Structure 1
Amino acid sequence: MIEAAMIWNEPNNKSHWDPELDPDWSRFANMAILAADAIASANPAVTRILGGISPIDADFMALMKQYGVLDHVDAVAVHGFPLDWNLWQIQEWPQKIGEISTVTDLPVWVSEVGVSSFGAEEVQLWGLRRSAELLLGNAARVQWYSLYDLPREWGATTRHREAEGSSYYRHFYMGLLREDGTPKPALEEFLRYAPGMGLVQWFHFEDPRLDDAVAWMKRLGVTNLRTGLSWADSFRPNAQDW
């Protein structure tokens, strides 16, 4: 069942919103309010979440509050990857959540947290354990990114290989399962934290991994999944069956 709907993704990140077109985020705020109200009209039981911000920026959240966006949502969300991309250390997680809580009384979801195995799978194992220690009980919802590694023949959408160097390639090693479907050491560790910790996994049109993913999530005891379907998929043949 769909229990929540997230409005946009990383709106304060240039990869997902163009500040040159909307430098004060007023257009984004208006869109978010319209979307939140439409969700409430369609199904008042669905929790409305402001899309996870990255970087975690209390000033941006205060701006959304000023525009009235927070009056139209039920929770806010943040994303953090301190061992891979952020300019802060993993032990600062409680501080980061606290910064957002000073702006709003709404529940704070960590809708993406993860550690790549790009350097070593043991680093991911330690990072999962430490993230769970710091976040479970401190955030209203915690979702690990992700179940599968990204196939290396795919491009990492919104990222820039030439400009990012190793930062780009880390995107391909975020899963608990390797590209070939075999488990990494962190997968066994994840069993300790589900169902308190959920997962994030994107599925593309007619994704051949879907059945295996469902089987793995049942085995792991996962009870909440953040996922999405592209609006563009509605134009594909057999879209309704998918």
Structure 2
Amino acid sequence: MIEAVMLWNEPNNKSHWDPEIDPDWLRFGAMARAAGEAIHAVNPGLTRVLGGISPIDPFFIRRMESQGVLGAVDAVAVHGFPLDWNLWQIDEWPGKIAEIRAVTGLPIWVSEVGISTFGADEVQLWGLARTAELLIGRAPRIHWYSLYDLPREWEATTRHREAEGSSYYRHFHMGLLRQDGTPKCALEEFAKHTPALGLCQWFHFEDHRLDKAVAWMKRLGVTYLRTGLSWADSFRPNALDWFDRQMEALRDFDVTVTFCFTPEHRGIAPHHSSAPQVPEEYAAFCADMVRRYAPARGILR
């Protein structure tokens, strides 16, 4: 069921890791290294992926290598949204992957790539077809972000205050399905590229879309998925009941589980992007989740 685990999400993006607390990523490096080692101790055969970087920055990968992080993972990942946020063109995708390949021999995953329908649905349709043309065959995993639009009632936070305005609200228009579940015109195009393309779909705590999402993914021919288990949510009442339900619902897919989000009361600052007070606590959470959902063969939880 679980083919890989991902250590954090966009660690070089200040919306997901606070650079004021950890400007040199030394705390992140120690945390990720400890988590990778803890996961390996529970299940040595499980693929460990460094959280997808955004922006795509070879210098960050070199920094992680200098801190020993790349010795504790089996792959690295990148995120790209050239038609919405990035300051480069969609045709530069092969070059962006080559930049990372030049600084590491590890496999390179594209764990988030997507195009919003903020301007027009047809932009996503064209962009999806072009993305598939550029990326299929260049990365072992390509996770399209995402299946559903983010509900407008939910929060999409950013620390990039200078990038708010229309750019900020593109977060709510990244799905192949609208908030009400109706398809956009790119949905049929996506189905032409499965199973080579997978999906990235985050499920919020007790997400009402879970079962419908599973049905849609099977209908579309999706075989692999990236999602998350939130360290912060693990402190909610009945958290394990929700985690169990989510992972059981996804059992027919090859799942990459992202472990991220600092609990407010365990952060140096009370925010999900904060470095934790005790990095070993994140490593322990990762190990516990692997022990529960992806134990080594022959070991029961």
Q: Distance in 2 between matches of 1:229 and 1:66?
A: 28
2:230 maps to 230
1:174 maps to 174
Q: CA, structure 1 residues 241+24, in 2 after alignment: closer, same or farther (shift >3 Å)?
A: closer
TM-score (norm 1): 0.96
Following superposition, the deviation at residue 152 of structure 1 comes to 1.1
Q: Please give the per-residue CA displacement for 1:193-213, whole angstroms capped at 9, x wherever unaligned.
A: 111111011111221111100
Following superposition, the deviation at residue 240 of structure 1 comes to 3.0
Q: Distance in 2 between matches of 1:24 and 1:238?
A: 36
Counterpart residue type for residue 24 of structure 1: D
* Greater shift in the superposed pair: 168-177 or 18-27: 18-27
* Greater shift in the superposed pair: 116-125 or 39-48: 39-48
Does structure 2 retain, via aligned residues, the 8 Å contact 1:3–1:45? no
Following superposition, the deviation at residue 157 of structure 1 comes to 2.8
Q: Distance in 2 between matches of 1:162 and 1:12?
A: 17
Does structure 2 retain, via aligned residues, the 8 Å contact 1:204–1:229? no
Q: Distance in 2 between matches of 1:182 and 1:163?
A: 29
1:99 maps to 99
Counterpart residue type for residue 182 of structure 1: T
Does structure 2 retain, via aligned residues, the 8 Å contact 1:78–1:112? yes
1:240 maps to 240
Does structure 2 retain, via aligned residues, the 8 Å contact 1:159–1:168? no
Following superposition, the deviation at residue 232 of structure 1 comes to 3.1
Following superposition, the deviation at residue 26 of structure 1 comes to 1.5
Q: Please give the per-residue CA displacement for 1:182-203, whole angstroms capped at 9, x wherever unaligned.
A: 0101110011111111101111
Q: Distance in 1 between matches of 2:94 and 2:148?
A: 27
Q: Distance in 1 between matches of 2:28 and 2:202?
A: 23
2:23 maps to 23
Q: Please give the per-residue CA displacement for 1:76-113, whole angstroms capped at 9, x wherever unaligned.
A: 00000000000000000000000000000100000000
SS of corresponding position for 1:240: helix
Is 1:214 paired with 2:235? no
Q: How many residues align?
A: 242
Gaps of 5+ in 2: 243-301
The alignment's C-alpha RMSD in Å is: 1.4
Q: Distance in 1 between matches of 2:90 and 2:76?
A: 20
Following superposition, the deviation at residue 54 of structure 1 comes to 0.4
Q: CA, structure 1 residues 72+204, in 2 after alignment: closer, same or farther (shift >3 Å)?
A: same
Following superposition, the deviation at residue 154 of structure 1 comes to 1.4
Following superposition, the deviation at residue 236 of structure 1 comes to 3.1
Does structure 1 retain, via aligned residues, the 8 Å contact 2:12–2:54? yes
Q: CA, structure 1 residues 233+23, in 2 after alignment: closer, same or farther (shift >3 Å)?
A: closer
Counterpart residue type for residue 89 of structure 2: Q
1:193 maps to 193
Question: Where do residues 1-242 of structure 1 align in structure 2 (5 Å cutoff)?
Answer: 1-158=1-158, 164-242=164-242
SS of corresponding position for 2:232: helix
Q: Which of structures 1 and 2 has the larger relative contact order (alpha carbons within 8 angstroms, sep 6+)? A: 2
Does structure 1 retain, via aligned residues, the 8 Å contact 2:3–2:47? yes
- Identity value in percent: 76
Does structure 1 retain, via aligned residues, the 8 Å contact 2:15–2:160? no
Q: Distance in 1 between matches of 2:221 and 2:3?
A: 18
Q: CA, structure 1 residues 160+88, in 2 after alignment: closer, same or farther (shift >3 Å)?
A: closer
Q: Please give the per-residue CA displacement for 1:107-132, whole angstroms capped at 9, x wherever unaligned.
A: 00000000000000000000100000
SS of corresponding position for 1:59: helix
2:266 maps to none
Does structure 2 retain, via aligned residues, the 8 Å contact 1:110–1:139? yes
